[in-house]
A and B are shown apart, each in its own frame.
Chain A
Amino acid sequence: MQASDRFNINSQLEHLQAKYVGTGHADLNRFEWAVNIQRDSYASYVGHYPVLAYFALAENESIGRERYNFMQIVGDGGQTKSGCGDGFGHNFLVFDGTVA
């Protein structure tokens, strides 16, 4: 690589994309974008225990089961989980028992 290439915007982007999972690019399609959002969201829910507990309460499941369900979605980007339909089920699931 030439010295000038290091400051090239493309190589910087590539570096970012390699380092930070989920960094977008110009040809990002709707599907990739959605899957990425799914992963971010569910990983965040699993990381924040009170939020996980909040979902568990809404669905009357144990927190352990809820974590498993969410981790499955992180794994497949919400594509195959039979219960997840459009893949956005959880994003809009709220506590008092409704989905927007």
Chain B
Amino acid sequence: MFLYSLTLQQATGVVCAINGSFSGGKSQEIVVARGKSLDLLRPDDAGKLQTLLSVDAFASIRSLAHFRLTGANKDYIVVGSDSGRIVILEYNKEKNTFEKIHQETFGKSGCRRIVPGQYLAIDPKGRAVMIGACEKQKLVYVLNRDTSARLTISSPLEANKSHTVTYSIAGVDCGFDNPIFAAIELDYSEADQDSTGQAANEAQKHLTFYELDLGLNHVSRKWSEQVDNAANMLVTVPGGGDGPSGVLVCAENFVIYKNQGHPDVRAVIPRRPDLPATRGVLIVSAAMHKQKSMFFFLLQTEYGDIFKVTLDHDNDRVSELRIKYFDTIPVTSALCVLKSGFLFAASEFGNHALYQFQAIGDDPDVESSSSTLMETDEGFQPVFFQPRGLKNLVRIDQVDSLMPIMDMKVTNLFEEETPQIFTLCGQGPRSSLRILRPGLAISEMAVSQLPGVPSAVWTVKKNVNDEFDAYIVVSFANATLVLSIGETVEEVSDSGFLDTTPSLAVSLIGDDSLMQVHPSGIRHIREDGRINEWRTPGKRTIVKVGSNRLQVVIALSGGELIYFEVDMTGQLMEVDKHEMSGDVACLDIAPVPEGRQRSRFLAVGSYDNTIRILSLDPDDCMQILSLQSVSSPPESLLFLEVQASIGGEDGADHPASLFLNSGLQSGVLFRTVVDMVTGQLSDARSRFLGLRAPKLFSVMVRGRRAMLCLSSRPWLGYIHQGQFLLTPLSYETLEYAASFSSDQCAEGVVSVAGDALRVFTIERLGETFNETAIPLRYTPRKFVLQPKRKLLVIIESDQGAFSAEEREAARKECFEAAGMGENGKVEQMENGGDDEDKDDPLSDEQYGYPKTESDKWASCIRVLDPKTTETTCLLELQDNEAAFSICTVNFHDKEYGTLLAVGTAKSLQFWPKRSFSAGYIHIYRFLKDGRSLELLHKTPVDGIPLALCQFQGRLLAGIGPVLRLYDLGKKRLLRKCENKLFPNTITTIHTYRDRIYVGDIQESFHYCKYRRDENQLYIFADDSVPRWLTAAYHIDFDTMAGADKFGNIYFVRLPQDVSDEIEEDPTGGKIKWEQGRLNGAPNKVDEIVQFHVGDVVTCLQKAALIPGGGECIIYGTVMGSLGALLAFTSRDDVDFFAHLEMHMRQEHPPLCGRDHMAFRSAYFPVKDVIDGDLCEQFPTLPLDLQRKIADELDRTPAEILKKLEEVRNKIV
């Protein structure tokens, strides 16, 4: 089996982010690392974050930094990854790419303890960069310019110290003196000699300054001083005239200002009053903002509270450090303060946000200061504050993030054309169920009813130079309605259009006149109101029209074509006629090329399954230039011109080209390239769009021409980052459409469907999925479907959280104390912060749940109707019970029908050792047509039931290392059979016929059999590799797919002969099992597929995402990405893609210097999987390189692109 791996949705979580001016000048951009990809974002004028570029780097990116050489106006990006290399990137605005300026190897690849890459620090003046490892190694590179102003990098200077752990590093701003780097370090050499732990207790963290002597080209330890043992982060303080220099040391509960030769200035971080006394407050992300006259820091705690830190200083003496409460937003992994007054908050889990500063926290608020720091016998006096609503920030945009995907199911619950992907996302109060549909999201601007059922709609401008459209013209079966666009859209009768007849086409002709084509003629409305009518000869009627701004071709019934042109005086003049052999099915004229008089090409589709290209040149007017036969009669034609591009923000560089698109009656979209000179057609591609013949329309998207195809659902064909994408829109079936531009809506589409006129815009181009989110209460764990009733049952649990009642009580108290009315607030609580809009002053989504002891749990079981997004039943578990597994089960006796089994644990704690007070299996009965649950009984078990599964009318439960079979009793579950021989803990169970596939938490799969006659469960095969399973899926009788904690996906298969032997053996291999082999099962499964995803996969499922598409394995990951593995069906394809991948590896090494093959084989050698993400980077290569690879493969670049498109279209 060979698989093609393709990432459908890039990771949406953010590891780290930096902001700067990467394209140069005044623009402000953000670079975010999303695990293995690097994105460039920019807030647009409307305050929406736009992704300008996204590059898959095939490495695990761990740190980012940016620097600017003195006097330059552009920032460079430094990337620390697992490649054992330091990489400096520059953003090339013209080509819209990251360019690798430098790549220096310093060590082994992989995330190792002593190989640098974990930390990066920059000298604030951009003269040096330090890259550090968790332990021992730190390297300093000197950055400089050569004579032609190019960036140079020195060989590395070592600042190593063995037996030393590094917690954080930062550059110290000391103006133009020698660069200094600060590091929090701990020397463990003594502790390691002492196994009693005494020395380890006494080990002390130090703050060390490393000075780079630019003259001697040498790094030395300049200064080292003890620092708080809970220190975790350093923040650079401006220096060299702008501030006092030095660093802020963030430690648990404290922020300390430190500098060489300066006494410590310490202030306590204010605490929330509801925080247990045992918990500290830790700073997890920081940002510094510097203006000419002042600077301040924003530090965010692990609970989401942001504090503004300011320093009172007199030159380089700091007299006071103030920490003032600023605002509370969800916990971030990175904060970026943009010079344009925005704050980008990259959330750890859940959606990211862009905030605008309303104020910078100058108003009085709770403040802790170094001067008021009180030391008592028990330590420092804490300062308390109560979180409040946003005062200084206002959220203006959100970027959806699926991180983390906890569970996923692909199914067509809504009976739409394509299945939906149901994902459980998020953590704690920000959890949600997200329903993903392949396609672009649209936002509907207006829907209005029309007096009849319209057949077509157009928009026209009055003048070619107008920015906005003037009229919307709607055609009915026997009338035409004209609507004028202004402040409001209203019907007008003075437009000059004939309203007693249907229309075939309405457009702007020449510079400023309008044309209406109706069945009996052409009406030409001049700007001054004069009307010219051209009537059809005899009783013939016009059936089809094709036009551009200067040319019109009509087809009369019977097959005659008449060609008109606009002459110099603006008159429409008949130029030529041509008789076709039969009726014309459709026509289109290419748009007039820039600076030309006319377009040369007319495309005519006929009912004899052909498309002809006719010339419109005066020399060979109406000559057939080329002919293309198609599989069924064409219904609609559209020329789409792609302008030449040399890259830039909208794409890779490519020459101008003209595409002819045709929608065939079979529902296929047929696309060919038209030679701009000869009119020859080549490179045909076809794609099935839906059950109806696609109608094609030209619309504007981001200022460029795009194609809207209306089949049984609408599709949009557009160019995004240099690639042509054809993506469905998540909208209902439309009849006819036109682009629409007005004051309120610059780039919209007006369409008709049924008897309504709809105006909508298309959002967030480039995305594969659009989502609908339904908020949940706690971190979701798993869910099951009730396909018949179309309901979902979800289990949610949170550790260290108060249950709903306790929270409610605490909140009441809090409001009473604050003297606020509680009207409406408690109700809000009941919804678990379900409300997106934050009227609630203390919404959990924004502030998080209050923390409590780690043995406290809050958990619930929810029945949800995804269609109405309504929770029909919510059972909150009592007494610190938390649900971990769920399944539906039909027991033998059909008394209750389908039941729900939920495995729970009580007072579970992980530290210091795993402990719990009890485990239970709850059995629930469905009531009210499955919309409600009733507890039948609760069976105590001796472990935590982490896996449940129905098996032959009984319930299989994995309870710790025991696999047990239960039957339903009146008062409790009854044990029937068990096997205690599993190595660690059972986490997954799948069954098929009499086989049971058990996944162990550390030891991969075990294949078991149940013998009914002997009532025995035994293991007949297992895996030889220890795999820390995180997800499993049953593929076929002998094959399982699994994913491990280290980011690998693998398939194992029982060899055919072993499988046959076991099936034929009357004892089913039992005798062999009894003998055993080296404490394992007698047979071993073979690993047949292995692939490193680079992200923890949490769910796997086999599904087809498109009707008629291939079944593939879909997976979801912690970082919020979705991917697919598609099995190849032919050997030729395997050879082709294997070679393409090989050439891509050679010619296009990944961005961050990680070897592609090594990355995909990070833990085990990659086996039989071709990386589609790498292959899909082919179009981003320079043209000559594309041609070179294509030559090696004996193909043309276009054929390769076609192949890539084909395989992608099989998946999504």
A residues apposed to B, CB below 8 Å: 18, 20-22, 29, 31-32, 35, 39-40, 43-44, 46-51, 53-54, 56-65, 68, 71, 74-77, 79-80, 82-86, 89, 92-100
A75 near B165 with CB under 8 A, answer yes
Q: Which residues of A contact B331 (CB under 8 A)?
A: 62-64
- Taken together as a complex, chains A and B put the C-alpha atoms of A43 and B1118 apart, in Å, by 19
- Taken together as a complex, chains A and B put the C-alpha atoms of A94 and B1148 apart, in Å, by 38
| 29 contacting pairs across A/B (C-beta < 8 A) | A44-B112, A47-B62, A47-B117, A49-B15, A49-B1119, A50-B35, A50-B1095, A50-B1117, A50-B1118, A51-B1046, A53-B403, A54-B1045, A58-B799, A64-B348, A68-B232, A71-B134, A74-B113, A75-B165, A79-B191, A80-B200, A80-B201, A85-B911, A89-B913, A94-B1001, A95-B1030, A96-B781, A96-B885, A97-B910, A98-B908
Question: Shortest beta-carbon distance, B1015 to chain A, in Å?
Answer: 28
Q: Which residues of B contact A40 (CB under 8 A)?
A: 113
- Taken together as a complex, chains A and B put the C-alpha atoms of A93 and B911 apart, in Å, by 9
B912 near A89 with CB under 8 A, answer yes
Q: Which residues of A contact B285 (CB under 8 A)?
A: 64
B114 near A53 with CB under 8 A, answer no
Q: Which residues of A contact B167 (CB under 8 A)?
A: 71, 75
Chain B residue at minimum C-beta to C-beta distance from A68? B232
Chain A residue at minimum C-beta to C-beta distance from B281? A65
Q: Which residues of B contact A79 (CB under 8 A)?
A: 191, 197, 200-201
Chain B interface size, as a band, is 35 or more
A47 near B913 with CB under 8 A, answer no
- Taken together as a complex, chains A and B put the C-alpha atoms of A6 and B205 apart, in Å, by 37
- Taken together as a complex, chains A and B put the C-alpha atoms of A59 and B112 apart, in Å, by 24
Q: A54-B1045, A59-B799 are in contact. List 20 more A-B contacts (CB 8 A).
A: A29-B195, A35-B192, A44-B113, A50-B1117, A53-B1096, A57-B349, A59-B854, A64-B331, A65-B284, A76-B188, A79-B191, A79-B200, A82-B912, A83-B911, A83-B912, A84-B911, A86-B913, A94-B985, A94-B1045, A99-B910
Q: Which of B111, B136, B427 contacts A21 (CB 8 A)?
A: B136
Question: Shortest beta-carbon distance, B116 to chain A, in Å?
Answer: 11
Question: Shortest beta-carbon distance, A63 to chain B, in Å?
Answer: 5
Any A CB within 8 A of the CB of B900 = no
Interface of A is mostly: helix
- Taken together as a complex, chains A and B put the C-alpha atoms of A32 and B193 apart, in Å, by 8
Give the one of B114, B284, B911, B985 with max A CB within 10 A.
B911
A94 near B200 with CB under 8 A, answer no
For window 381-435 of B, CB contacts with A under 8 Å fall at 403-404, 406, 427-428
Q: Which of A22, A29, A47, A62 contacts B348 (CB 8 A)?
A: A62
Q: Which residues of B contact A59 (CB under 8 A)?
A: 799-800, 854, 910
Q: Which residues of B contact A39 (CB under 8 A)?
A: 113, 135
A44 near B111 with CB under 8 A, answer yes
- Taken together as a complex, chains A and B put the C-alpha atoms of A76 and B134 apart, in Å, by 13
A21-B136, A54-B1118 known; A47+B908 contact, CB < 8 A: no
- Taken together as a complex, chains A and B put the C-alpha atoms of A42 and B302 apart, in Å, by 20
Any A CB within 8 A of the CB of B282 = yes
Interface of B is mostly: loop
A61 near B1001 with CB under 8 A, answer no
Question: Shortest beta-carbon distance, A10 to chain B, in Å?
Answer: 20
A47 near B118 with CB under 8 A, answer yes
Chain B residue at minimum C-beta to C-beta distance from A99? B914
A35-B192, A48-B60, A60-B799 known; A99+B913 contact, CB < 8 A: yes
B165 near A74 with CB under 8 A, answer yes
For window 276-319 of B, CB contacts with A under 8 Å fall at 282-285, 302-303
Q: Which residues of B contact A84 (CB under 8 A)?
A: 911-912
Any A CB within 8 A of the CB of B1207 = no
A53 near B13 with CB under 8 A, answer yes
- Taken together as a complex, chains A and B put the C-alpha atoms of A6 and B593 apart, in Å, by 76
Any A CB within 8 A of the CB of B472 = no
Question: Shortest beta-carbon distance, A97 to chain B, in Å?
Answer: 5
A57 near B946 with CB under 8 A, answer no
Question: Shortest beta-carbon distance, A41 to chain B, in Å?
Answer: 9
List the 9 shortest-distance A-B pairs measured between CB atoms, nearest first. A64-B284, A47-B111, A85-B912, A99-B914, A43-B113, A83-B911, A62-B302, A100-B984, A79-B200
B282 near A50 with CB under 8 A, answer no
Q: Which residues of A contact B946 (CB under 8 A)?
A: 96-98
Any A CB within 8 A of the CB of B779 = yes
B118 near A53 with CB under 8 A, answer no
Q: Which residues of B contact A80 (CB under 8 A)?
A: 197, 200-201
A50-B1118, A53-B403, A89-B911 known; A60+B779 contact, CB < 8 A: yes
Q: Which residues of A contact B136 (CB under 8 A)?
A: 21
